[in-house]
């Protein structure tokens, strides 16, 4: 279980980075005809800033959790090797 989770990257677990995410397809507010927001618009910069802030926070959280999982896994492997080694 943990081994499988360690194989996936942090970005794969965050829905914003998935293949059909609004960030990649430009589909916001469930409107399929909604155009991609141009980079120049003020609304986009605010939206972009908030999205980046949220995603970096999520990324940091998952990164920290992943490091803890790896540490626990390594400690477990070490304990097993000491016991049955």
Residue with tokens 């194989």: 7
Q: How far apart are CA 8 and CA 13, in angstroms?
A: 8
pLDDT for the residue numbered 62:
92
Distances (CA, A) of 47 to 13, 24, 51, 60, 82: 21, 14, 6, 20, 52
Is the overall model pTM greater than 0.85, yes or no?
A: no
Instruction: Compute the mean pLDDT over every residue in the chain, rounded to the nearest whole number.
Output: 69
pLDDT tier, 49 (very low <50, low <70, confident <90, very high otherwise): confident
Q: Who's near 6: CB < 8 A, 6+ residues apart?
A: 66, 69, 70, 73
């Amino acid at each position: 279980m943990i081994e499988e989770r360690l194989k996936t990257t942090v970005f794969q677990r965050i829905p914003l980075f998935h293949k059909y995410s609004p960030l990649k397809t430009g589909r916001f507010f469930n409107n399929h005809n909604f155009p991609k927001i141009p980079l120049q618009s003020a609304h986009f910069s605010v939206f972009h800033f908030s999205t980046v802030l949220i995603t970096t926070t999520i990324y940091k959280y998952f990164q920290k959790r992943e490091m803890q999982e790896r540490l626990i896994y390594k400690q477990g492997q070490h304990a097993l090797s000491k016991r049955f080694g």
